[in-house]
Structure 1
Amino acid sequence: MNPIDELRAARPAHLGDRPVDERTRAAELSHAMSQPRQLRRRRKIVRPVWGLGLAGAAAAATAVVVVMAGNGAVPTPRAPDGVPATAGSTAAPKVKLSARDVLLAAAENADRQAETTGDYWHTTTVTRSLMSVAKGGYRLMMQDRSEMWTPSATGGEQWSRSQSLGARPVTEEDRQAWEAAGSPAEVEIRVPGKGGLRMPIAPGKVRTSHSPLVDGDKVFWLGRNVTMKDLRGLPSDPDELKKWLLRSYKGHDTESSSVPMGSDAWLFRVSTGLITDMPVTPQVRGAAFRMLAELDTVKVAENVTDAEGRQGAAVSTEERVKGGAVLENRLIFDESTGQALANENVVVKPGGLQAGFEPGTVWHSTAVLETGWTDDKP
C-alpha cells in the first residue's frame, strides 16, 4: 500500500473517500491520522476523491496560474515584490481592514461575474503540508496536485486525477539535516500517538479514477450531503442562506460529533468551502460573503500572498483543534472578483501535528488553480 492510500485507509468512517471541502483538509488530516484504520469500511459523507493533501514540493509550481470563473478566465492577481509566501513561511499580512467593508465589496464583485453551466464542474488544486520527520528532527514540505470533474446530471460519474509532486526540506537547515541523514529517498513522518508513516521524496505517478455519485446524485458536503440541484437552488439572500446552512448544525464540528464547535466557527468553515470550490451561482457566492460580513468573530487582512505568489485579501477565524493547537483558518480571495485563491491553516498556538511550528507558520495550504464548468472529462 502506498503512503497516500495508507492515509486514506486511516480516515474515520464519517469522512468516506469522496469530495472534501478545501477549508477542512487540515483539520481533517489531524483527525484522520489519529483514528483506527478499520473504520474505513463504512461510507456516509461525500468528500473529494483526492482526500488528504500530503505530498509534494513547493518548488514544482512555476507556471502562471489562471483562476476560471463562469465562462472566462480571471487574471491572477499581481504578486508583490519579494518572495511569495508558502506553507512554512511566517510572513504576516501587512494591513488589517474592516471585515464588513471588504467582504461586502467582495460580494458586490462576485455578483457581477458571468454565469454558465456545462456537463462537469471542474476544479484543480495544489495542496501543501508541513510534516516533521520522525528521525533527524527536520521538516519537509509535501505537495500534491488534484483535479476533480463532478457531473451536473443525476446518475453520472465523478472523475478525479491526482499526483504526488514529491517533497523537499523547508529551510536550509532542514536540507542540511536531510543530507546528513544520507538524503533518504523515503522518510518516516511523525504521527503523534501513532508512530510513523513512510513517505517517498520523489514525485509519484498520475492516477485517474472514476466512480458513481453517492446515492446517484450526491455531489458535495455542505453541512450534509447535497445534490447539484440543492447547490444550484441555494438562496441568494444572506439571511436565508444562513438559515439553510444552520439547519445542519448540531453543535459540533464538521469532522467529529465529540468536538464542540460554535455556530459562527461552523458556519465559517462550511461557507468558505461553498465560496471556494462549489458550483453555486455568482449571486449565492455573493450572499456567502455578505453572511460572513455579519459574523463578529471574523477578521480581514489585505496584502496576503498565497503559496502560488498571488496576492489578495484574507478573511479568517480561529479554531482549536485536536492536540491543543489553535489554528487560524483563512480564505484568501481576489477582491476584484470574489474568486477564492486559497485556503490556509496558520499556526496560532502549536500542539499535536503542529507541535514545534512557530506561531505564524502556514502549516497547510490549498491553492485553487481552476474552477469552472466544462463539457470535457478526463
Structure 2
Amino acid sequence: MNPIDELRAARPAHLGDAPVDTRTRTRELSNAMSKPRSARLPRRGAARPLWSFGLVGAAAVTAVAVVAVAVSGSGGTPPRAPEPAPASTSTVRLSARDILLAAAEKADRQPAGTGAYWHTVSVRRTLFPAVGAGYLVMDRQRSEGWTPRATGGDQWGSAKPLGARPATAADEQAWKRAGSPAEIQVSVPGKSRPMTLSTTPGRTQTGHSPLTDGDKVFWLGRNVTMKDLLGLPSDSAELKAWLLRSYDGHDTESADEPMPADMWLFDVSVGLITDMPVTPQVRGAAFRMLAGLDTVDVIEGVTDAEGRQGSAVAIEEHTKGSGVVERRLIFDQATGRALGNESVVVKPGGRQTALPAGTVWSSQAVLEAGWTDHKPSS
C-alpha cells in the first residue's frame, strides 16, 4: 500500500472520503469536547481537496488515527494543566482594535514571494487521557504540504508522527509507575474503543493527489481555487462580505449546530491568516476585519507550543456541555506573521470537566509558510 493509500485507510470511517482542513478539524475537536459528534453536513459543491496545507494537518494526524476527535479531557482524569503552553497568568488584555490594526500594517509589508508551490510546515499537539492510568498524553504530529499554483497538477503532502509523551512532569511520573509503556491506550470521546499511541516517532509518509475538479485547493467557507485566493479583496469590508456569502448561520460541519457570524468569521479567518496563499494585503485585511468584531479580544505575552512569544486574538466559544473554550490565533506583533492557533479551556464543563481553566488541549504551530519551486519526489 502506498503512502497516500495508507493515509486514506487510516482516516476514521465516520469522516467519509473527503478530507477536512485544519480549521474545520479544530471545530470538530471543540465539538468532541462538548458532546457526541452530530451527523456531518452534506457536502456543498466539490469535495475538499486532499493535500492543501490546511488539509495536510488533518492528513498527518489521520496517519496514526488521531485526527478525528482529539481532546484533552474525560471523566476521571486528574485536573492538571498540560505542557507545553498553559494560558499565561501574567497576560494583559488590551484593545483588540489597536493591536490588530498594527498587525495589519505589518502584514501588509511582508513580501509576497513567488514559486510554483505553496509550501507549509506545521506541528499539531493534542491531549488524550490514558485509559485507566490517571495521566494525560500529548500526541504530536508534523505535517508538510505543497500546493501547486497552476491548475491540473497534484498536491503533495508528508506526515510524520513525532511520538506521544506524558503531558506534564506529574504525568511522566505516573507513566513511569505504569512501567513506562512504549504504547499507550488513550480514551477518545465519542468512541467506544480506546486508541493506541506510540511514544516512538514514526516514519514520514509522503504522497500526492490530483486537485479536486482539477483546481480546488483549499476550503474557505466553501471550496476555493488558487485563483480565488489570489483574487480575494484587500479591503476589509469587501473581504468580510465575500466570506459571509458562504455563511448559513451554522458551523462548518453540521447544520444542527448554530454558530454566530463573528465566531464563524474568526474560524474561517484563522486559516486564511495562518496558512493560505493569499497576498500580504489580504492577510492585512483579515486582521482589520477581526479588529472590527466586537466579540474578539487580544492577549499579549502568549507563548505558543514551540516556545515562541507572541500575541493572540481570541474569541470565546460556549459549548453545549456548559463549558467555555477560548480559541486563539497567535501572531508576532513585530511582523504580523501568524505563529499558529490553540484552544484553551476557560470554564470546564461537559467533557472538559476534568480539565482546569488554562489547559491548552489542542494547538497547531506553523513553522513555515511561503512559496517555493521545490516539491518532494514520489
On whether the aligned pair clears a TM of 0.5, the verdict is yes
Q: In the TM superposition, what whole-angstrom CA distance separates every residue of 1:222-251 from its partner, at most 9, and x where no partner exists?
A: 000000000000000100000000000000
**8 Å Cα contact 1:145-1:164 kept in structure 2:** yes
Match of 1:16 in 2: 18
Quote the Cα distance in structure 1 between the aligned partners of 2:201 and 2:325. Answer: 29
Instruction: Report matched runs for 1:1-378 at 5 Å.
Output: 8-13=11-16, 16-17=18-19, 20-21=21-22, 23-29=23-29, 31=31, 34=36, 44-46=47-49, 48-51=55-58, 86-87=83-84, 89-92=86-89, 94-195=91-192, 196-321=194-319, 323-378=321-376
Quote the Cα distance in structure 1 between the aligned partners of 2:85 and 2:336. Answer: 26
Q: 1:48 to 1:106 in 2, by over 3 A?
A: same
Q: Alpha-carbon deviation of 1:325? A: 3.4
Match of 1:63 in 2: none
Q: In the TM superposition, what whole-angstrom CA distance separates every residue of 1:199-233 from its partner, at most 9, and x where no partner exists?
A: 22211111001000111100000000000000000
Q: Gapped runs of 5+ residues in structure 2?
A: 63-81
Q: Alpha-carbon deviation of 1:25? A: 3.1
Partner of 1:177, secondary structure, is helix
**8 Å Cα contact 1:12-1:36 kept in structure 2:** no
Give identity over the alignment, percent: 59
Q: 1:260 to 1:133 in 2, by over 3 A?
A: same
Quote the Cα distance in structure 2 between the aligned partners of 1:39 and 1:282. Answer: 32
Q: Give the count of matched residue pairs.
A: 347
Quote the Cα distance in structure 2 between the aligned partners of 1:373 and 1:280. Answer: 11
**8 Å Cα contact 1:93-1:304 kept in structure 2:** no
**8 Å Cα contact 2:301-2:310 kept in structure 1:** yes
Quote the Cα distance in structure 2 between the aligned partners of 1:112 and 1:100. Answer: 19
Q: Alpha-carbon deviation of 1:258? A: 1.2
**8 Å Cα contact 1:93-1:301 kept in structure 2:** no
Partner of 1:191, secondary structure, is coil
Quote the Cα distance in structure 2 between the aligned partners of 1:88 and 1:153. Answer: 39
Q: Gapped runs of 5+ residues in structure 1?
A: 56-84
Q: Alpha-carbon deviation of 1:17? A: 1.7
Q: 1:285 to 1:213 in 2, by over 3 A?
A: same
TM-score (norm 2): 0.84
Q: In the TM superposition, what whole-angstrom CA distance separates every residue of 1:234-274 from its partner, at most 9, and x where no partner exists?
A: 00010000000000000001122211000000001101210
Moved more, 196-205 or 279-288: 196-205
- Matched letter for residue 28 of structure 2: E
Q: Alpha-carbon deviation of 1:111? A: 0.9
**8 Å Cα contact 1:94-1:301 kept in structure 2:** yes
**8 Å Cα contact 1:147-1:162 kept in structure 2:** yes
Quote the Cα distance in structure 2 between the aligned partners of 1:37 and 1:291. Answer: 31
Partner of 1:48, secondary structure, is helix
**8 Å Cα contact 1:27-1:321 kept in structure 2:** no
Q: 1:283 to 1:332 in 2, by over 3 A?
A: same
Quote the Cα distance in structure 2 between the aligned partners of 1:107 and 1:41. Answer: 33
TM-score (norm 1): 0.84
Quote the Cα distance in structure 2 between the aligned partners of 1:272 and 1:356. Answer: 28
Q: In the TM superposition, what whole-angstrom CA distance separates every residue of 1:274-309 from its partner, at most 9, and x where no partner exists?
A: 000000000000100110010000000111111111
Moved more, 112-121 or 153-162: 112-121
Quote the Cα distance in structure 1 between the aligned partners of 2:263 and 2:31. Answer: 17
Q: 1:281 to 1:41 in 2, by over 3 A?
A: closer
Q: Alpha-carbon deviation of 1:193? A: 3.7
Quote the Cα distance in structure 2 between the aligned partners of 1:208 and 1:54. Answer: 13
Q: 1:351 to 1:198 in 2, by over 3 A?
A: farther
Quote the Cα distance in structure 2 between the aligned partners of 1:363 and 1:92. Answer: 17
Q: Alpha-carbon deviation of 1:354? A: 3.3
**8 Å Cα contact 2:330-2:341 kept in structure 1:** yes
Partner of 2:152, secondary structure, is coil
Quote the Cα distance in structure 2 between the aligned partners of 1:152 and 1:308. Answer: 29
Q: In the TM superposition, what whole-angstrom CA distance separates every residue of 1:164-204 from its partner, at most 9, and x where no partner exists?
A: 00011112221122122222221221122423112222111
Q: 1:53 to 1:154 in 2, by over 3 A?
A: closer
Q: 1:265 to 1:36 in 2, by over 3 A?
A: closer
Quote the Cα distance in structure 2 between the aligned partners of 1:96 and 1:37. Answer: 37
Q: Alpha-carbon deviation of 1:29? A: 3.3
